[in-house]
Amino acid sequence: MSNIRLIISDIDGTILTSNHQVDEQLIEVMPELEKANIPFVLASARSPLGMQPIAHKLGLHDNPIACYNGALVLEGDRTIIQHPVDKAEIQKLLNYLSTDYPSVSVNIYSDKDWITNELDKWSQLEGSITGESPIIKELQDTVSDSKPPIHKLLLIDEPEIIQDLHQKLLSMDLPQTAFYLSKDNYLEVTAKHVSKEHALLEVAKYYDLPLEEVMTIGDNFNDSPMLALAGLGIAMGNAPEGVKETANLVTASNDDHGVAQAITEHVLN
């Protein structure tokens, strides 16, 4: 048995196949991890509602899940860690978008709620991927309300518009807010220090484990920092070369049972 006592894994492109299905071999490995008392924690840009069915299928019960890249960490229905955005800065952002980028689809995530002001083609597409349905509501009402906290915004449009917007926002005076591209046409907006790397640090601390005893698994550039920081960082075979270079090891692809293979070889062996 290895010294790994905690596993933190990405979802899309990692434990899900290209057909967005949970890898069957991974489901079979889960009882062995539970028997060895090694928690398996999901970390994703997804919302709780986009993650909980996957956690349920893996039989993870009330293991923590790091939603919105760690802006909200839930254990069952209990919030154990959260980093909401600064609402004053988000108000400034919404005002800017309405005047300078009116075509951009703006989606707000607050706890388990996904809120948008209209069901446009982009939010319909996102709903078809995640299986969620948004609440249609005036966004200004959500931002001006002191409660509840906002954990993430997702801005969607054509790639050239989103990438232009990204560059503009990086130069705006929004010191408490971070922006990063998760796809060429998806711009994620979170509190400044939210990242999977920070989630790794907080979840390891929650379990009172040193990083040397944590294995992380992922396939994309936003996974790279947590792959580099963990005691054992595993890149998927389908990951870009730049991601593979930050990991200790490379496993098989998401369509070839890469996560199950990594656990079997490096944790349960």
Name the pLDDT band for 89 (thresholds 50, 70, 90).
Answer: very high
Which residue has tokens 């300078």?
Answer: 100
Catalytic residue among 10, 111, 113, 157: 10
Residue 16 is classified by DSSP as B
Q: Could you confirm whether 255 is annotated as catalytic?
A: no
On whether the pTM is more than 0.95, the answer is no
Closest CA to 211 of 190, 232, 183, 192: 232
Closest CA to 169 of 187, 152, 195: 187
Q: Do 149 and 76 share a structural domain?
A: no
Does a structural domain hold residue 40?
Answer: yes
Range of the domain at 44: 6-82+194-266
Does a structural domain hold residue 1?
Answer: no
- Domain finish residue from 191, 219, 238: 191
Q: What is the pLDDT of residues 202-253, one digit of tens each?
A: 999 999 999 999 999 999 988 999 999 999 999 999 999 999 999 999 999 9
Q: Do 226 and 184 share a structural domain?
A: no
Q: What is the pLDDT of residues 3-26, one digit of tens each?
A: 999 999 999 999 999 999 999 999
Give yes or no for residue 146 having a pLDDT over 90: no
Give yes or no for residue 62 having a pLDDT over 90: no
Q: Which run of H or E residues covers position 73?
A: strand 72-75
pLDDT of residue 120: 95
pLDDT of residue 1: 54
The span from the CA of 86 to the CA of 69, in Å, is 17
Give yes or no for residue 268 having a pLDDT over 70: yes
| Euclidean distance between the first and the last CA atom of the chain, given in angstroms as a whole number | 5
Q: Do 173 and 220 share a structural domain?
A: no
- Domain finish residue from 191, 208, 236: 191
- What average pLDDT does the segment 161-178 reach? 97
